[in-house]
Structure 1
Amino acid sequence: MSSRNMILSRLREVSPVPRRLPEVPMFDSALPPEVKSFRKSLDRLGGVWCLLPEDTSLEQFVRSRFRDATVFCSATPEFTGTRDIALVDDPRALDDVDVGIVRPAFAVAETGSIWLSEAQYNVNALGYLSQHLIALLDPADIVGNLHQAYHRKEFFEANYAVLMSGPSATAGHRGRTGSRCAGYPVADGHTGREAGYRALGQETSMNGLAASRDAMIRFLSHGRHRLPLSEAFKAGLICAAPAGDCSDAGVKERSAGGEALPFRA
């Protein structure tokens, strides 16, 4: 018997008996009404819940809210934009989009999140380079919590997916998402070029993981926004460990030995 087969044979002999996975509850027995909860969560995020006025088309309503916008790009046939996303072959071409329009597959009430994949975006950059993002959402597609969301079939069908509910502490795009507009639920807000700290996750290649003090200070000192360490802590972008003095001097003193400063996602 070869060494390989001998090792595999021994592993089979000591392999554990298969066990059934534990049942995970849905924690949905006392959830508030989905639409009411979603509106409350959306408001905390800075999103705007809009109702479509009677005798007003979706196109008229959207253009009336963004009178100064010139570039509208829609990933849904319900709105005709000025930029045909089907003709976009380079995501960077969406950098000048003033208003992006998408229809999420569903939304999550407890977090105010909307779920989007390559199927809803057509070009994924639409959700992040658009100055304002409008989400057309059917109230029937709002689920109560994340436990319900992760049972949705869309998670198993998409190659790319995101639950958007900014602002993001590390990637930095400011997402105002969700909301409803009568038969055409709508939400608007800032997402793209007004990003506060877009490069934070990119500079360190970290998202929710630990980054060295030197890498973090290098970004904060030389990045586009020159955010002082103390302000980064106050804004919740960075969570120092161990807890203590969050001033610039305090952070430098504690991290002089190379202490890692974990980012809080």
Structure 2
Amino acid sequence: MESRDKILNALKKKFSDTPAALPVLKAYSQSSIDLVEKFEFVLRGIGGRTVRANTIHEINEYIRQEFADAKRIVSLTDGVNGTPITPDIDPHTFADVDLIILQPHFAVAENAAAWITAERMGDRALPFIAQHIALVVYTDSIVHTMHDAYNKISNANYPFGTFIAGPSKTADIEQSLVLGAHGPKSMTVFLISK
């Protein structure tokens, strides 16, 4: 018997097939934290920006002004101007998308991440291939922590989902930060109060 097999057999004997129960984490009181302010603060810290809007019309006006040079804007958010896409479209046609506008299910204050699943993306490639990304988040959908986020999605059934937080960024060994190296150059989150 090889050493590898001996080690694996020893581990099998030591650990049962039934995984140990995970410890119950004590929830911390978050009642005094303003979730919207926390989300905005964290998003700024990771290179994104927030825009508070009262209506979809305000979002359309902001996009018209700030992305006036955009050649192709794709919107998968009701009421927000942009070209829609169909599920059968070839992802190779997304190479020229300057801005993608999506509406995630919810956002997380502690890390400014937003949870979005396949049915709200149009195609999995879109949030990662577009030059810029914009999200429309209703403020009452922001949760405190990733623990709260995982509690919301733990029993859901979806083919694909991801957390998106800020624009793409990378740093070399000299700590030179580059935004948009392998994904969107910017991320704008429109915050709407209901």
* TM tier, smaller: 0.7 to 0.9
> Is contact 1:26–1:148 with CA below 8 Å preserved after alignment?
no
Which residue matches 2:7?
none
Summarize the Cα distance change of 1:74–1:88 in structure 2 as closer, same or farther, 3 Å threshold: farther
User: TM-score, structure 1 length as denominator?
Assistant: 0.55
Mapped pair 1:74 → 2:63:
no
Q: Shift of residue 76 of structure 1?
A: 1.7
Amino acid at match of 1:161: G
1:201-258 residue CA offsets vs partner (Å, 9 max, x unmatched): xxxxxxxxxxxxxxxxxxxxxxxxxxxxxxxxxxxxxxxxxxxxxxxxxxxxxxxxxx
- Select the structure with the greater relative contact order (CA < 8 A; seq sep ≥ 6): 2
Whether the 8 Å CA contact 1:42–1:177 is kept in 2: the answer is: no
Gaps spanning 5+ residues in structure 2: where?
1-15, 172-180
Taking a change above 3 Å as real, the CA distance of residues 156 and 56 of structure 1, as seen in their structure-2 partners, is closer
Summarize the Cα distance change of 1:152–1:31 in structure 2 as closer, same or farther, 3 Å threshold: farther
SS at match of 2:107: strand
Counterparts in 2 of 1:71-110, with a 5 A limit? 71-81=72-82, 83-86=83-86, 89-110=89-110
Cα 1:73–1:56 shift into 2, 3 Å: closer
- Report what 1:37 is aligned to: 38
Contact 2:97 2:131 in 1 (8 A): yes
Are the aligned partners of 1:59 and 1:79 in contact in 2 as well (CA < 8 Å)? yes
Higher strand share: 2
Q: Deviation at 1:58?
A: 3.0
- Give the match's secondary structure for 2:74: strand
Q: Which residue of the partner structure matches residue 261 of structure 1?
A: none
Give the deviation of 1:146 after TM superposition. Answer: 0.7
Q: Secondary structure at the match of 1:136?
A: strand
Question: Identity over aligned residues, as a percent?
Answer: 24
Where does residue 11 of structure 2 map in the other structure? none
Which range is displaced more, 98-107 or 86-95? 86-95
Provide the C-alpha distance between the structure 2 equivalents of 1:120 and 1:164, rounded to a whole number of angstroms. 13
Aligned to 1:180: 190
Aligned to 2:156: 156
Closer/same/farther in 2, CA of residues 90 and 110 from structure 1, 3 Å limit: same
**Aligned amino acid, residue 48 of structure 1:** R
CA RMSD of aligned residues (A): 3.2
Q: Structure 1 residue 97: deviation in Å?
A: 0.6
Q: Structure 1: 5+ residue runs without aligned partners?
A: 1-14, 185-265
Residue 177 (structure 1) shift:
3.7
- Describe the SS at the equivalent of 1:32: coil
Q: Which residue pairs with 2:4 in the alignment?
A: none
- How many residues in Structure 1 have an aligned counterpart in Structure 2? 171
